[in-house]
Amino acid sequence: MKILVAGIGNIFYGDDAFGCEVARELKRVKLPENVTVTDFGIRSYDLAYALTNDFDAIILVDATTRGQAPGTVYLIEPDMNHLNELDRTSVDAHSMDPVAVIQMAQSLGGGVRGKLFLVGCEPAMVENEDGALELSEKVKAAIPGAMAMIGELIRELTGGKTKSSGLAPAVTKEV
């Protein structure tokens, strides 16, 4: 089973960099050989093409606003049929809209081939007027929980056959 973990976000917009930071931390731990971790940042086209590759599962990691307390980590399994019903949006060179990227991947002919998941974190701040290039404290503190959630998801997807060293069991899970 081939798995892609895709960190997405803009490092210049505070907590929007959550996915990028999680990807950076995941690259520091030993993961199974069948797991690819990539920080896509705001490179929409690169992610769209990656989504059309032969991955059995894709885990997007991003800041996700759902109205909960900042730092809350979510595991969401998007309904691809519902995504097709949403308005098409254009790709922006300064940000990444995962829905627009998925729609772009579908327009490339193959669409998303693997099972899609989103590990999201409720942001505290998305734009920094003072130019600070760092996550808020609550979102920074959520990185280990997100990593653990990803590790648990990888174990579930592989039938418990793989072990990810350095990833503790997840404590927060919301669908």
95-116 tens-digit pLDDT: 566 677 776 766 666 677 789 9
For residue 60, is pLDDT > 70?
yes
Q: Please give the C-alpha separations between residue 114 and each of 51, 59, 88, 155, 158, in angstroms, as whole numbers.
A: 8, 10, 21, 16, 14
> How much is the pLDDT for 93?
47
- Write out pLDDT tens, residues 139-171: 999 999 999 999 999 999 988 765 554 555 444
> How much is the pLDDT for 146?
98
**Using an 8 Å Cβ cutoff, are 62 and 126 in contact?**
no
Q: Please give the C-alpha separations between residue 148 and each of 141, 142, 145, 167, in angstroms, as whole numbers.
A: 13, 10, 5, 5
pTM for this entry: 0.82
- Write out pLDDT tens, residues 71-98: 999 999 987 665 555 444 444 444 566 6
Distance, in Å, from the CA atom of 135 to the CA atom of 117, rounded to the nearest integer, reads: 23
* Amino acid identity for residue 108 in this structure: L
> How much is the pLDDT for 83?
56
> How much is the pLDDT for 91?
47
Q: What mean pLDDT value characterizes the chain?
A: 81
Residue burial 87-117, b: 16+ Cβ < 10 Å; e: rest: eeeeeeeebbbbebbbbbbbeeeeebbbebb
